[in-house]
Amino acid sequence: MSDPLREEWTGPFGLPDFEAVRDGDFLPAFEDAMRQSRAAIDRIAANPAPPDFANTIAALERAERPLERVSAIFFNLAAADANEERQAIQREIGPRLTAFRYETMLNAPLFARIDALKADPSGLDAEQRRVLTLYHDMFRRAGAMLEGEDRTRLSQIMQRLTSLGTAFTQNLLADERDWSMALAAEDLEGLPGWLTDAMAGAAAERGEAGHVVTLSRSLIVPFLQLSPRRDLRERAFRAWAARGARGGKTDNRDIMAEMLKLREERAHLLGFDSFADFKLEREMAGNPQAVRDLLMAVWEPARARAEADAARLTELMRADSINGALQPWDWRYYAEKLRRAEHDLDEAEIKPYLQLDNIRDAAFETAGRLFDLSFHPVDVPLYHPDCRAWEVRRDGRHLGIFIADMFARRSKRSGAWCSSFRGQDRLDGIRTPIAVNVCNFARPAEGSPALLTLDDARTLFHEFGHALHVLLSDVTYPMISGTSVARDFVELPSQLYEHWLMTPEILSQYARHAETGAPMPPSLRDRVIAAENFDQGFATVEYVASALVDLDFHSGPAPEDPMAAQDATLARIGMPEAIAMRHAAPHFAHVFAGDGYSAGYYSYMWSEVMDADAFEAFRETGDVFDRDTAQRLLRHIYSAGGSREASDLYLAFRGRMPGVEALLKGRGLVPEAA
């Protein structure tokens, strides 16, 4: 039997042998990998030969491959299929990996070699110069220029932040896993069959009879949209909003406060005024004020639209003889009523046409028409029975493997994401990527097809856009492969890809009724497309409020009480009372589960400025699958990875940078003629 944690993967298509993975092997494998990688790094640092790209940068690209191999398997499984043993390993290994990373970054002889190369990059090609610049920035921003106690303190901070981020994530998973609301037969009145089937499936997955609502987004959001029982909507919403803030051992509020203080200290050690200044230095935005300007330019028209919509929803609530104020647990329910009235649409009518398998095939078809890709199912052992895999080809040539893990389960953290078991590079011959999309769609009843909401369908296309960024990467060095780009650029390929879902060309072919197989009637399809921007005031407000809270958390002194700071931000911007933040701080995993989106949640909107404009490039041709435009998109965005600055890549594709007007128009927040 092979050892996928210590040996090169020899399974079909270079996949790891998941059946050979044993939880008890992870810690010894991590220790072996760190020992091998440390020895390789020490050899680079002590090399008596003058530094050049091959013996320093390319050597560093190879040095951590043993560690990358075991990390890829462990952290994918820890996120998508957690158990107590894996969580314990994560708590132990996380700080040790951080210490290892900072031991490398603070290696003075090693940085001296990189610094010497940066001072004289003659003879390097453009891709090598880019990789060298990124390595130099990575070491500098990790504290390579610090001395004495500051170096030691920074390493301590980073280890502690890793432990806190792990605790935040595991607390959130526990809150989501442990809460459910049982429904009696009379509580199901007014709910469509597909939703009651999903709730029965959720109960069965928990070993219970009957029906339950859980905190899976694909279950609780339809319940809030469709349940006529205001008392049950309130109970469910309050539980959803309280994740991470229920008191007891899973409460995240003290964790947040400590993380914010440590991030501020980290930024000051590195010479920055605030953590936001530090994080944004290498992003497209560049500085906190540019981010704030964008968010506020969107906030004002979005809030105005939301306030107008709130008045209309209140009228509908009054018609139901409810005289109190419109509340967050009312909004989705009455918005659904308003959508029926305005567009003759409701979720129960649409959802039977959105079968998971069909929408996935629609994503494949879009990739085929844009980028000449084909997807071929493969029968290989994977890490969980829910997973399925496809070989990805172009012109008959193997390009990579795509894995889909679509259904919610108690062992999986919430949300949806794209990761990889292996990235693409050509450093030592061609390494083809293995990309994975993980979602939390409601599991169907046994024998029934899996049905998606429109929000679910968009999520599938979004994450698949990320997967294409991984699969289509065409670079030499791992440092710039795939999604290794600026944080506020990484969402462009994913958000742009969502646009094709709502085109007549795709809906006409793939939106088919789950029982009859009949295509979605053109009249319904056209109403779905016409309603695409319905309730965008709400959607934009709940998102921008979260982004502004994140920015405020990190733009000045760390708040003593993050919850009070959150409330102060919401009061300052005039948050509508009937709308809650999309992610309240105690369950704001983007910001507190790790470092990725901290001071960076704005990036979805920064990327949306570009994705609205980028899709317009296709519309301008009269063909949303225009081949020349698609080839430019492939060459400069999906295949380029981080080989150039993000703004240069976008300019190469579009010829200019867009303004916020394209975003406002795309969200329907300005009149069409504006």
Please state, in angstroms and rounded to a whole number, the distance separating the CA atoms of residues 404 and 385: 11
Chain centroid to Cα 62, Å, comes to 27
Rounded-to-integer distance, Cα 144 and Cα 103, Å = 10
**Beta carbons within 10 angstroms of residue 170's beta carbon:** 19
Using DSSP's 3-state secondary structure scheme, residue 389 falls into strand
Length of the chain: 674
Q: Given 64, 283, 463, 608, which residue is catalytic?
A: 463
In the block, which residue shows the tokens 């646009």? Answer: 499
Distance CA 188, CA 185 (A): 6
Tell me which residue of 494, 496, 499, 470 sits closest to 642, measured CA to CA: 470
Structure tokens at 537: 């005031």
Three-class SS state of 406: strand
Helix (H) / strand (E) element for 393: namely: strand 388-394
Which two tokens mark 641?
């990875």
Structure token digits, residue 494:
């994913």
Long-range CB pairs of 67-71, under 8 A, 24+ apart, other chains included: 67/30, 67/33, 67/34, 67/36, 67/37, 67/97, 67/100, 69/4, 69/5, 69/6, 69/8, 69/9, 69/33, 70/5, 70/6, 70/26, 70/29, 70/30, 70/33, 71/30, 71/33, 71/97
Q: Find all residues with CB under 8 Å of 106, minimum gap 6, and list them.
A: 142, 143, 144, 146, 151, 154, 155
- 397-407/434-441 β-pairing: parallel
Q: In whole angstroms, give the CA distance from residue 521 to residue 524.
A: 5
Residues 53, 111: contact at Cβ < 8 Å?
Answer: no
Token code pair at residue 34: 């760190």
- Yes or no: say if 460 and 359 are a contact pair by the CB < 8 Å rule: yes
SS3 state at 181: strand
Rounded to whole angstroms, the Cα distance separating 375 from 389 reads: 9
Give the integer Cα–Cα distance in Å for 337 and 315: 11
Active site residue 463: yes
Q: Report the distance separating Cα 313 and Cα 572, nearest Å.
A: 24
Which residues are the active-site residues? 463
